[in-house]
Amino acid sequence: MLILGALLAVPVKDTVWWDTPGGKVTEHQTADSTSCSLMLYNDSGSVTFEWDDQGQEQVTAINWNWQFPDNWRVPMTMQFGDTLLNTGSSSSAVIEAVGHGNAVTFTANQPVEDLLRPADRVVVKTRDDELSIPLRRDKVKMLLAQTRKCRAMIPQ
C-alpha cells in the first residue's frame, strides 16, 4: 500500500508528439523532470533514444530473443546504416551496456540524430545475437523533426 501511495504522489504525464508504424516520439513529464524519447521498432524489438534535462542521451535496445540477468555487463555495438556509434573514449566501437531481461541500456557519448538521418537501418549487436530495424528516410526525417520540437520543451 505504501508503494502505491508513493506512485500516486508523483504525477506522470506522457504526451505523444508523433506516432507512426515503426516510430514514436513521446514527451515524459514528472514533477521533477522532463525527457523526450524516440522509439524505432519492428516485430523483433525496439531501440529507444531518450534525452533528459541533464543533457544525457540514454539508449535502450530490446530484442525479444535476448535474456540477460539484471545488471549484466554486455559488450555490444550499434550501427546506423554503415556507421558505427563510437564510445567517445577511444577508437573502439564496443560499448559496455547494462543488460536486464531482454534489454540493453547505455549512455550515448555521440549525438545520434545526425547518424539516424541518412541511415537505412539501425543495428544493435551483442556477442550472440543482433537486432536490426530497417528505416525509411522520409519517416525518420519526420520523427527527428518532432524529436527536436519535443526536446525544445526540456528545461535547461
The domain ranges of the chain are 10-151
| pTM of the complete model | 0.88
- CB proximity list for 76: less than 8 A, separation 6 or greater: 61, 94, 95, 97, 104, 106, 124, 125, 126, 127
Which CATH number applies to 10-151: 2.60.40, 3.30.1490, 1.10.3470, 1.10.1760? 2.60.40
3-state SS of 34-97? EEEEEEEEECCEEEEEEEECCCCEEEEEEECCCCEEEEEEEEEEEEECCEECCCCCCCCCCEEE
pLDDT in tens, the chain (156 residues): 444 444 455 557 899 999 999 999 999 988 888 999 999 999 999 999 999 888 789 999 999 999 999 999 999 999 999 999 976 656 668 899 999 999 999 999 888 999 999 999 999 999 889 999 999 999 999 999 999 999 998 887
Among 70, 69, 15, 4, residue whose Cα is nearest residue 37 = 15
